[in-house]
Amino acid sequence: MRFFIDTADLDQIKEANDLGVLDGVTTNPSLMAKAGISGAKNIEDHYKKIASIVEGDVSAEVIATDYKGIVAEGEYLAQLAPNIVVKVPMIREGIKAIRHFSDNGIKTNCTLVFSPGQAILAAKAGATYISPFVGRVDDINWDGIGLIAQIAEIYAVQMYETEILAASIRNSKHIVDAAQAGADIATCPLHTILGLLKHPLTDIGLEKFLADHRKSNQGA
Ligand code: G3P
């Protein structure tokens, strides 16, 4: 499974990239606002900066919700950098636009996916990625990881090429469970990636190895 980072914060993107495990970045209007980025020119510059830090795909989300607007905005975003992927909401006009982008060789990430039916529609339209929101499904007492598993099974049976990008990841266990359920990618906040490092027995074991080394090398 590949790792994307789900943030517009440049320091966090650099930190994950330096770790050597980063395959891409996803952003959305909320994450851009959280990073304090506003205004068309600043947003555009910010996408360029992100796209220059990582080699992998960078999702840039359209604001328009009508077909013509989504197409115009998406085509503009796509030419900002070769690794920009146009992120399009799962709405009727969005599906039409995804078909247009797919026919014209522009990669897309269909976002705000909450059901297997939506996932089928996005795959039929030729989306490069779909983003099912694991955490938000859990928030309404439903089963976010179950949704990933169901979509993975459908895509395997139907041989759809669209990749499953597990989004709205809230903790490290979500990453592990999404991997087991068949997600191609998880897009994660930095703390959830770093959380994968943690195990108390690793810390205890390392402390003992180093103490034993010190003891046997005293005065050597
Ligand atoms: O990838 C989508 C993500 O940014 C939404 O996360 O935690 O707001 O549901 P969250």
CA angle 22, 24, 26 (to 5 degrees): 125
- Which of the four pLDDT bands, split at 50, 70 and 90, describes residue 12? very high
Going by C-alpha positions, the residue among 151, 153, 183 that lies closest to residue 169 is: 183
- pLDDT band of 19, cuts 50, 70, 90: very high
- What's the chain's average pLDDT? 97
Ligand 1: list residues with CB < 6 Å.
Answer: 6, 26, 28, 31, 131, 133, 135-136, 167-168, 170, 187
**pLDDT, average across residues 169-185:** 98
pLDDT of res. 59:
98
Active-site residue flag, 87? yes
- pLDDT interval class at 20 (50, 70, 90): very high
Nearest C-alpha to atom 9 of ligand 1 is from which residue?
168
Residue nearest to atom 10 of ligand 1 (CA): 168
Residue closest via CA to ligand 1's atom 4 equals 168
The model's pTM: 0.96
**Separation CA 37–CA 182 (nearest Å):** 34
| Ligand 1 atom with least separation from CA of 30 | 4
Pocket test for ligand 1, best of 30, 114, 140 (most atoms within 8 A of CB): 30
Q: What's the pLDDT at 220?
A: 73
For ligand 1, the distance from its centroid to the CA atom of residue 174, given in whole angstroms, is 13
Q: Atom 8 (ligand 1): residue with closest C-alpha? A: 168
* Main-chain dihedrals φ then ψ at residue 139, nearest 5 degrees: -55, -30
**211 C-alpha to ligand 1 centroid (Å):** 43
By residue count, the chain amounts to 220
- 31 CA closest ligand 1 atom index: 4
Please give the pLDDT value at position 117: 98
Residue found under tokens 């982008």: 101
Catalytic residue among 14, 41, 87, 173: 87
Query: How much distance in Å is there from the Cα of 112 to the middle of ligand 1?
Result: 9
Between CA 190 and CA 35 the distance in angstroms is 14
By three-state DSSP, how is residue 143 classified? coil
E strand segments, 35-184: 57-61, 84-89, 108-113, 129-132, 163-166
